[in-house]
């Protein structure tokens, strides 16, 4: 199914890019911009973003690695203590 009509990106393309990025780097934070870049494309109108993000969220490899999930809280704790 076409997800991004401006760049002709399908759900298969998005899932393949996520799976490839996760296989290459277990700690990678995967964003729409990185997916566009991996596919050699760039977003244009942005109208596909809700469906693009929804497609990304359905991929089990999208999860943020467990040890990176608390970075914001740890950073705030450091700021508050000092
Ligand atoms: S539909 Fe994806 S950038 Fe326009």
Counting ligand 1 atoms within 8 A of each CB, the residue from 8, 32, 48 with the most, and so the one to mutate, is 48
Q: Is the CB–ligand 1 distance for residue 2 below 6 Å?
A: no
Name the residue of 1, 2, 5, 10 whose CB sits within 8 Å of the most ligand 1 atoms, as the mutation to test its pocket: 5
Q: What is the pLDDT along the chain (82 residues), one digit of tens a residue?
A: 999 999 999 999 999 999 999 999 988 899 999 999 999 999 999 999 999 999 999 999 998 777 777 777 777 888 877 6
* pLDDT value at residue 31: 95
Sign of CA dihedral 62, 68, 69, 73: negative
* Domain boundaries of the chain, sorted by first residue: 2-81
């Amino acid at each position: 199914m076409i997800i991004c009509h401006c760049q002709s990106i399908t759900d298969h393309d998005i899932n393949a890019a996520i799976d490839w990025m996760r296989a290459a780097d277990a700690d990678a934070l995967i964003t729409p911009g990185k997916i566009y870049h991996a596919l050699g494309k760039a977003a244009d109108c942005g109208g596909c973003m809700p469906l693009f993000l929804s497609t990304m969220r359905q991929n089990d490899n999208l999860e943020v690695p467990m040890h990176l999930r608390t970075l914001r809280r740890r950073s705030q704790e450091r700021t508050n203590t000092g």
